[in-house]
Amino acid sequence: MNDVASRHRLRSVATTLAVALTLTLAAAAGCDNRRDPPLPSVLDKLRESHVDGQAKIRIGVATTEPLMGELRNGVHVGFDVEIARYIASYLGFAGDQRIEWVSLATEDRIPALQGGVVDLVVSSFSMTEDREKLVSFAGPYFVTTQEVMVPARLKDRIRTIEDLRRPEYRICTSGGSTTEAELAKHDVKAYVVKEVGDCVKGIRAGRYDAVSSDETILAGFLSQYPKDFEIVDMPFGTSELLGIGVPIGDPALRDLVAFALQKSYLQGRNGISSPWLTAYNRTLGPWLKADKSQPQPLDVPKLVDFDDKAPTR
């Protein structure tokens, strides 16, 4: 009898505890439902960034690099330009009426970002340690290697880096580029001009014999003169990561750009057509020897956005 009574009491205590705990848990759930999101959202970052409230976003692009950044009949076209359009639209600047294109020469990219002339630079900008001291990078959005393009008449004579060192060949490259440093490292003396386009013009005029630059830029000129030139695969070794340049004082903007690239990367990985893939297929895709896919962006922040609840599979 006593045993039954004590079991009964135990049971009552257990019920009381269970009811009390369930009520506490329900109350905690109610409070949790009302608190602010713990993670920063895309909108929070946008408010922090300096582009918030601007009527237009200023993007620095190249205008003389076919396939990457080119001004054709008054319209900016190319892979970099398409990527820039995607980023701008992600930041709330959709359509060319909300974008102010600023054409930048290779060597002007860093000063333009430092001087506040542009908000972003999407112009075959290699992410290097030295540059990261001066500007911030989001990316990479493309991995490229250094190549050499020679006129068709020299395609059998210039095949190796050794050939480039021979004094009878005049090698040309653009100033302020990573190629310039890479050539110097391999003891190749090069004529440094303002734009890669000048080198191509120079070769066609007979002033130079070869041009060295990123394979993307060279593929662009090859697409313009497919019969006159050939790209020679040379083992320069280092691959280059192209990133989007952001002013160093605006980490929020860098985070947003990296997040936008990551969004496209995830879409592509899930087999959905991504903005990156569309841009690639419309521009570089047909002209590169090997098919490429979007590289995974580095240092992507964790942000919440409205589409987070969408299925991932």
Partner 1 sequence: MSAAVTEEARPAGPVPAVRDPAERKARASQSFWTAVVGVPAIFSVLRLGVEAGGELQTTLLLVANVGTVNLLAGFLTTAARLLSTGLVATFALGAVLRVSVDRMPPTVRRPLFARWVDVTPAWFAVASFLLALVTWQLLYLPLLVPAFVAAFQLTPARLHEQRVPRVLLLVGLLGGYAWLLAPTLADAVDQREWLALLLLSAPPLLALAITGPLPGAVVRPLASVTEAAVLATLVWAALPVISTPVLPLTVTTVESAPGVTEDIRGHVVTTDDVSMVLLQERGGVRYVPTGQVRAQVLCPSEEELPRHRLRIHDFHVEDSLLEGLGRRVRPVHRIDAACRAVR
- The dihedral over CA atoms of 279, 283, 289, 291, expressed in degrees to the nearest 10, equals 20
Taking the complex as a whole, how short is the minimal distance between the CB of residue 296 and partner 1, in angstroms? 19
Longest CA pairwise span in the chain (Å): 112
Peptide bond preceding 251: is omega within 30 degrees of 0, i.e. cis? no
Quick one: 153 exposed, middle or buried, by C-beta within 10 A (0-12, 13-18, 19+)? exposed
**Of positions 92, 175, 295, 301, contacts partner 1 by CB under 8 A:** 92
Which residues in 261-290 contact partner 1 (CB under 8 A)?
272
Question: Residue with structure tokens 């590289």?
Answer: 295
**Nearest residue (CB) to partner 1, 188 versus 256:** 256
Binding positions for partner 1, 95-134, rule CB under 8 A: 95, 97-98
Question: Minimum distance between the CB of residue 93 and partner 1, rounded to whole angstroms?
Answer: 7
Query: Is residue 35 close enough to count as binding partner 1 by CB under 8 A?
Result: yes
Tokens of 22: 């369930």
Task: Give which of 58, 86, 136, 133 is closest to 275, Cα–Cα.
Answer: 86
Q: Are 88 and 57 in contact (CB under 8 A)?
A: yes
Shortest CB 119 distance to partner 1, Å: 14
89 or 128: CB nearest partner 1: 89
Only segment of 93-101, 143-151, 164-172, 291-299 that touches partner 1 (CB under 8 A): 93-101
- Percent helix, strand, coil in the chain, to 5, is 45, 25, 35
Measuring CA to CA, which residue among 125, 132, 113, 122 is closest to residue 90? 122
Which residue, 45 or 131, has its beta carbon nearer to partner 1? 45
Q: Which stretch binds partner 1 (CB under 8 A): 83-91, 107-115, 116-124, 205-213?
A: 83-91
Instruction: Scan residues 164-223 and list those touching partner 1 (CB under 8 A).
Output: none
**Residue of the chain from 48, 71, 89, 175 that contacts partner 1 (CB under 8 A):** 89
Name the site residues for partner 1 (rule: CB under 8 A): 9, 11-19, 21-23, 25-30, 32-39, 41-43, 46, 89-95, 97-98, 272, 302, 304-313
